[in-house]
Structure 1
């Protein structure tokens, strides 16, 4: 079980959506993961919004920072995301 340290319900819903997309159905929004399982954050947000979700890059970063224990990883430059 995971805890979302101080995350509100909106961020919890975004976290669950990101987990589903990145782990199971990236193709459902037209997203392709690289060989290491990373997706560009900007592309993820753009494609999620095109598919009817309302997500910002800032919210993605809040979700990553709010997970205890960590559930997502950002690349060193912060431009790509993957599920751990």
Structure 2
């Protein structure tokens, strides 16, 4: 994983595991948040990430840190 994706992965870990409310997210009962909403809120908070970069992080994670919902629209930290 390149440096940029590593930074995004660390940011996703922080937001999804510890502080989803820091960017105005409320996970569902299983801890999932909508990927599009995650990216939108992260960008509003000053981060520059795309849905494609989030998907690249998911594809390139060396150890499983995140999981997708069955429909592929939601993400959660493991």
TM range (shorter): over 0.9
**Which of these residues, 15, 18, 27, is aligned with residue 24 of structure 1?**
18
Give the TM-score taking structure 2 as reference length.
0.97
Runs of 5+ in structure 2 lacking a partner? none
Deviations 1:38-84 (A, max 9, x none): 00000000000000000000000000111122110011111000011
Matched, 1:35 2:29: yes
RMSD, aligned α-carbons:
0.5
Number of residue-to-residue matches in the alignment: 78
Deviations 1:7-49 (A, max 9, x none): 1000000000000000000000001100000000000000000
Higher helix share: 2
Runs of 5+ in structure 1 lacking a partner? 1-6
Q: Which runs of 4+ in 1 moved over 6 A?
A: none
Residue of structure 2 in register with 1:81 after alignment: 75
**Which of these residues, 44, 57, 63, is aligned with residue 50 of structure 1?**
44
Give the TM-score taking structure 1 as reference length.
0.91
The answer to which of 14-23 and 64-73 deviates more is 64-73
